[in-house]
A and B are shown apart, each in its own frame.
Chain A
Amino acid sequence: MDFLELEGITKEFPSRSGPPARVMERVSFSVREGEFMAVLGPSGCGKSTLLQMAAGLLPPSSGEARIGGRRVDGPPPEAVYVFQQYTRSLLPWRNVRDNVAFAVEHRIGRRRARAAAEVQLAQVGLAGFGDHFPWQLSGGMQQRVAIARALAAEPALLLMDEPFSAVDALTRLDLQALILDIWTQRKLTVMLVTHDVEEAIYLADRIAMLTRRPTTLAEIVEVGLPRPRDPIATRELPRFLELRHDLLGKLLTRHAV
């Protein structure tokens, strides 16, 4: 069953001179319940914009997003958006525990929120780091905090905007494994934006490919790799290599046009 539906989404930004700039043109696709969907596209094509419209953080100019059949106008309780740059979305004046608790303390009160935060921190491998401040942690650990905070809200849908683009390659593998674990355990629906072809193939069930601006949906690719996936073995499967060859080629030619 479709959980997140994007239907005819068009986005224009007002420009100072002349007509509004059309960034995105009638993009439609759906993400099934429990599915891991990756969105792949060249830089600046509007991936973040699309994800923000799905999260109810930005209204589309026309078309609509639906989550669980209900039209999105404003952030829905089922969905949580994870930001591209964790340094900007973590609050430096709160320690790690209180950063995570922030996601729910307005609903369940500070004491219970802190208890919940400890549980989530343990889940992302940060047990015992509650008293640290975000700026005392490495980039990868900060992104784990951001993930723990998202999980604390117990979302059904996780919208992730290039969550691993700012960390080193090894940490990225770690975090990818963490996200796959969480996705499997909690039966989440995930839409993850990336410009990293291998990351998209390794993580996703399907990949939505976007074109350059004005952005449309180019195609949807079935990944069809077996699960559970292995960070080394999966990347050596013929199907993985074939997909990588295909998608990279498509991205590069679209860039060249």
Chain B
Amino acid sequence: MRALARPSSGFLLILALLLLWEVSARFDWMNSPNWPPLSVVLAALARDSLGGELPLLLGGTLWRMFAGLLAGGAAGVIVGLLFASLPVTRRLFGLTVELIRPIPIPAIIPPLVLFLGLDNTMKVTVVGLTAFFPVLTNTMQGVRAVEADALAMGRTFGIGFWRRSLHIVLPACLPYVFAGFRVALALALVVTVVAEMIAGEQGVGHYLVLMQFAGRAPEMYATVILLAVLGYGLNRGFLAFERRALHWYFALGAQRN
């Protein structure tokens, strides 16, 4: 709160850099037609935003990103819980997962296009795969950290396996799940934009490439700025949501310190 009210040194540095941008472009220090002044970029940003074009594209991008994030993340939680609590499933599927994991996600876009086309299905699938792995890894780590006493407590009251998983294991590893989602969120934005740049004619990513081809530098930079602000905002929003959802976890942490 205080950091927002009083400009910190970090904030001042950003102001200085933006000022440098404006000045360097005004005096053409870069000697390039593709380095427009910040004020022109901001004007382009305002024009495209008010015109309604950019918000619409952004809405599509966000929709694809969240659909993929939720689907892939949910799969990561479920598979993570299964792997960690039923060793059979891990023996059966673990190797497959380990072999898919190291593939750089953008590399699977071309083959996926052949099967799923250029549009939403393909992009949501790619983002889903992106989100799946960090959530899976963190969930499994979380299950290992569940107190043995809490599980035995469930058993002594005659609570069955599924109910224990849902009411003891899942909440207990929620802090880990959230950590996985935080990583997945950042990756998901990257991969959504990359997928839009590579294939199809949707979203902010495609717009960015379009502006580049058209040589419209102000619009291009405006899009980059928009994505930077979006990424920052998403992360801040996520952290606020996490603090609310895991209030008990943060309270415990504060108590220990």
Instruction: Please indicate whether A and B come from the same complex rather than being unrelated chains.
Output: yes
Chain A residue numbers with a CB within 8 Å of B158 are 75, 77, 106-107, 153
The reply to whether A88 and B147 form a contact with Cβ atoms under 8 Å apart is yes
B88 at the interface (CB under 8 A from A): no
The reply to whether B152 and A81 form a contact with Cβ atoms under 8 Å apart is yes
Query: B residues touching A (Cβ–Cβ < 8 Å)?
Result: 147-150, 152-153, 155-160, 163, 167-168, 171-172, 174, 248-249, 251-252, 255
A159 CB, nearest partner CB in chain B, Å: 8
- Considering the chains assembled together, what is the distance between the CA atoms of A102 and B168 in angstroms? 10
Chain A residue numbers with a CB within 8 Å of B251 are 133, 135
Q: Mark A104-127, 1 if CB is under 8 A from B, else 0.
A: 101100000000000000000000
The reply to whether A91 and B156 form a contact with Cβ atoms under 8 Å apart is no
Chain A residue numbers with a CB within 8 Å of B156 are 55, 57, 75, 79-81
A103 at the interface (CB under 8 A from B): yes
Instruction: Identify which of residues 118-156 in chain A touch chain B, using a CB-to-CB cut-off of 8 Å.
Output: 133, 135, 153
- Considering the chains assembled together, what is the distance between the CA atoms of A77 and B160 in angstroms? 13
Q: A135-B248, A135-B252 are in contact. Are A88 and B150 (CB under 8 A)?
A: yes
A171 at the interface (CB under 8 A from B): no
Chain B residue numbers with a CB within 8 Å of A135 are 248, 251-252, 255
Chain A residue numbers with a CB within 8 Å of B248 are 92-93, 133, 135
In the complex formed, the residue of A with least CB distance to B147 is A88
Q: Mark A73-101, 1 if CB is under 8 A from B, else 0.
A: 01101011101010011011100000000
- Considering the chains assembled together, what is the distance between the CA atoms of A195 and B155 in angstroms? 26
Q: A88-B147, A93-B171, A133-B251 are in contact. Are A106 and B152 (CB under 8 A)?
A: no
In the complex formed, the residue of A with least CB distance to B167 is A102
A89-B147, A102-B159 known; 14 new pairs, CB 8 Å cut-off, are A52-B152, A57-B152, A57-B155, A74-B155, A75-B158, A77-B158, A80-B157, A85-B149, A89-B152, A89-B153, A104-B157, A106-B160, A106-B163, A135-B252
The reply to whether B157 and A83 form a contact with Cβ atoms under 8 Å apart is no
By size class, the interface of chain A is: 20 to 34
- Considering the chains assembled together, what is the distance between the CA atoms of A85 and B158 in angstroms? 20
Chain A residue numbers with a CB within 8 Å of B159 are 102, 106
A145 CB, nearest partner CB in chain B, Å: 12
- Considering the chains assembled together, what is the distance between the CA atoms of A91 and B169 in angstroms? 10
The reply to whether A89 and B149 form a contact with Cβ atoms under 8 Å apart is yes
The reply to whether B171 and A88 form a contact with Cβ atoms under 8 Å apart is no
B243 CB, nearest partner CB in chain A, Å: 14
B157 CB, nearest partner CB in chain A, Å: 5
- Considering the chains assembled together, what is the distance between the CA atoms of A107 and B174 in angstroms? 25
In the complex formed, the residue of A with least CB distance to B245 is A93
The reply to whether A91 and B157 form a contact with Cβ atoms under 8 Å apart is no
Chain B residue numbers with a CB within 8 Å of A92 are 248-249, 252
Q: Mark A45-86, 1 if CB is under 8 A from B, else 0.
A: 000000010010100000000000000001101011101010
In the complex formed, the residue of A with least CB distance to B251 is A135
Top 3 A-B residue pairs of the complex, sorted by shortest distance between their CB atoms:
A88-B149, A81-B156, A89-B153
- Considering the chains assembled together, what is the distance between the CA atoms of A93 and B174 in angstroms? 10
Q: A92-B248, A102-B167 are in contact. Are A83 and B149 (CB under 8 A)?
A: yes
A52 CB, nearest partner CB in chain B, Å: 8
- Considering the chains assembled together, what is the distance between the CA atoms of A11 and B157 in angstroms? 24
- Considering the chains assembled together, what is the distance between the CA atoms of A80 and B159 in angstroms? 12
Chain B residue numbers with a CB within 8 Å of A106 are 157-160, 163
Chain A residue numbers with a CB within 8 Å of B147 are 88-89
- Considering the chains assembled together, what is the distance between the CA atoms of A85 and B149 in angstroms? 8
In the complex formed, the residue of B with least CB distance to A103 is B157
B177 CB, nearest partner CB in chain A, Å: 13
Task: Supply 5 A–B pairs (Cβ within 8 Å), ascending by A.
Answer: A55-B156, A74-B155, A88-B148, A102-B167, A153-B158
- Considering the chains assembled together, what is the distance between the CA atoms of A89 and B172 in angstroms? 11
Q: A89-B147, A103-B157, A133-B248 are in contact. Are A83 and B152 (CB under 8 A)?
A: yes
- Considering the chains assembled together, what is the distance between the CA atoms of A55 and B158 in angstroms? 11
- Considering the chains assembled together, what is the distance between the CA atoms of A153 and B156 in angstroms? 10
